[in-house]
Amino acid sequence: MPELPEVEILVRHLQPVLRGRVIRNVTVLRPKIVRPENAATLSGALVGRTIRDVRRRAKYLLFELAGGKTGPGRATQTTLVGHLGMTGRMFLQPKDRLLPKHTTVTLDLGRNVLVFEDTRYFGRLNLDLGALERLGPEPLGNAFTPAMLLAALARSTQPIKVKLLDQTLVAGLGNIYVSEALFRAGIHPRCPARRINPAAATRLVAAIREVLAEAIRFGSTIPLSLDPSASKNDLFYYGQSAGREEFYDERLRVYDRAAQPCLQCATPIRRFVQAARSTYWCPNCQRR
């Protein structure tokens, strides 16, 4: 999936092309994706409405809708909540084009269609704001500070790597960027959370911010590019593209680099499993 940076990039691309567009029709091809809504309730809540804004909270996409249903003067506001899961993608395509195999939901916007495609069907697109209430601070926001992090880690015996994946602690980090941030901060992934000292917390907050900001700057590990077959410039494709692999190597210093030399000290990068997820680290740069 897209972690925070990938969602941020997607939102930045969607925002200008979706703002002001009216949802003409909603097609649900995989009902599970819109739970707890069903095709009828989702459609009823969206059709006829205008997308006023597209925002991000952690790894969630928030589509702010207005107008339509309630008529003039009584515009109730609705938020459509999207999550890409592990393999979700969103893009616009012409109405007459064949939909991808794993299309879950489409929003008919008139001239073209917003497609939510997701091979593993772990994603979500619904009206449920409940998940958002449990989220911790944005890692790039002012509320995420070394003091706050230190306090949150104080009573936890869990390894720091596992703890940073907890979205109630800080919201938006995923498996890739946690490994990257710990490497940059020089912290061992197995370090018990409560053993992180003030100096390490300060380095960690800085490293997390750097890693995410850099990923956003470079346009994410899953590059976003203009659809080569698109005839209009408001069409784009969120997926593979050529020519960005150099950036990938440059930015990801440990993730998926098991047995390859550390870019800092040439020691082979190691991999092990924590909480059923792969952790990558340099045994020399990240001491206990």
Partner DNA sequence: CACCATGTTCCTTG
Partner DNA sequence: CCAAGGAACATGGT
- Give catalytic residues, as residue numbers: 2-3, 59, 277
Out of 3, 37, 117, 180, the only residue in the binding site for DNA (CB under 7 A) is 3
**Pick from 29, 39, 62, 86: which binds DNA (CB under 7 A)?**
86
Contact call for residues 174 and 140 (beta carbons, < 8 A): no
Q: What is the DSSP letter of 196?
A: -
Candidates 11-19, 68-76, 105-113, 274-282: pick the segment binding DNA (CB under 7 A).
274-282
Binding window for DNA (CB under 7 A); candidates: 62-70, 91-99, 156-164, 203-211: 156-164
How far apart CA 204 and CA 16 sit, in angstroms, is: 34
- For residue 198, the surrounding DSSP H or E stretch is helix 198-218
Please identify, using beta-carbon distances, which residue of 145 and 158 lies nearer to DNA: 158
Task: Provide the 10 A C-beta neighbour count for residue 142.
Answer: 7
Is residue 175 a contact point for DNA (CB under 7 A)? yes
Strand spans (E) along the chain = 25-28, 50-57, 60-66, 78-83, 88-94, 103-108, 112-118, 124-126, 224-226, 236-238, 270-274, 277-281
For DNA, which residue of 15, 119, 202, 241 counts as binding (CB under 7 A)? 119
**Cα(125)–Cα(82) distance, integer angstroms:** 4
Q: Is 158 in the site for DNA (CB under 7 A)?
A: yes
- Site map (CB under 7 A) of DNA, residues 30-49, x = contact: --x-----------------
**Nearer CB in complex with DNA: 20/36:** 36
Compute φ and ψ for 99, nearest 5 degrees: -75, 150
Query: Which residues of the shown chain bind DNA in the complex (CB under 7 A)?
Result: 1-3, 6, 32, 58-59, 83, 85-87, 101-102, 119-122, 131, 134, 155-158, 162-163, 165, 167, 174-176, 193, 221-222, 273, 275-278
